[in-house]
Amino acid sequence: MKVELLHYAPDNPDEYIATVMRRTRDISAIEGIKRSLDEKEGWVERLVRGARTWGHYDVFEHVVYWFSLEGVSRVLTHQLVRHRLASYSQLSGRVTNIEDSYVVPTLEYISDEGKRKELRSTFERIYRQQFKDYDMLVSRGVAVEDARYVLPNGQMTAIMITVNARSLMHVLRMRLDPAAQWEIREMAEKMLELIRPTAPILWESIPKDI
| Contacts with 198 (C-beta within 8 Å, 6 or more apart), sequence order | 5, 8, 13, 65
Are residues 6 and 54 located together in one domain of the fold?
A: yes
CATH of the domain at 122: 1.20.5.3070
- Rounded CA gap, 154 and 90, in Å? 15
Query: What domain range includes position 169?
Result: 2-68+157-198
Indicate which residue of 22, 52, 148, 175 is catalytic: 175
CATH of the domain at 164: 3.30.1360.170
- pLDDT by residue, tens only, the chain of 210 residues: 999 999 999 999 999 999 898 887 778 777 767 777 776 778 899 999 999 999 999 999 999 999 999 999 999 999 999 998 899 999 888 777 778 899 999 999 999 999 999 999 999 999 999 999 999 999 999 999 999 999 999 999 999 999 999 999 999 999 999 999 999 999 999 999 999 999 999 999 887 665
Does residue 209 sit within a domain? Answer: no
Are residues 59 and 162 located together in one domain of the fold?
A: yes
The one-letter amino acid code at 118 reads E
State the pTM of this model. 0.90
Q: What does the pLDDT read at residue 17? A: 95
The one-letter amino acid code at 3 reads V
Q: For the chain, what is the domain count? A: 2
Does residue 27 sit within a domain? Answer: yes
Q: What does the pLDDT read at residue 197? A: 97
Does residue 79 sit within a domain? Answer: no
Q: What does the pLDDT read at residue 210? A: 53
Q: What does the pLDDT read at residue 195? A: 98
159, 78 in Cβ contact below 8 A?
no
Residue 197 CB neighbours (<10 A): 9
- Rounded CA gap, 101 and 95, in Å? 17
Q: What does the pLDDT read at residue 28? A: 74
Q: What does the pLDDT read at residue 31? A: 76
Consecutive H or E run containing 45: helix 43-53
138, 148 in Cβ contact below 8 A?
no
Where does residue 98 rank: exposed (0-12), middle (13-18), buried (19+ CB within 10 A)?
Answer: buried
| Contacts with 27 (C-beta within 8 Å, 6 or more apart), sequence order | none
Report helix, strand and coil shares of the chain as percent, to nearest 5.
50, 15, 35
How far separated are the first and last CA of the chain, in Å rounded?
24
72, 103 in Cβ contact below 8 A?
yes
- 196 labelled catalytic: no
Q: What does the pLDDT read at residue 161? A: 98
DSSP state of 102: B
17, 63 in Cβ contact below 8 A?
yes
184, 109 in Cβ contact below 8 A?
no
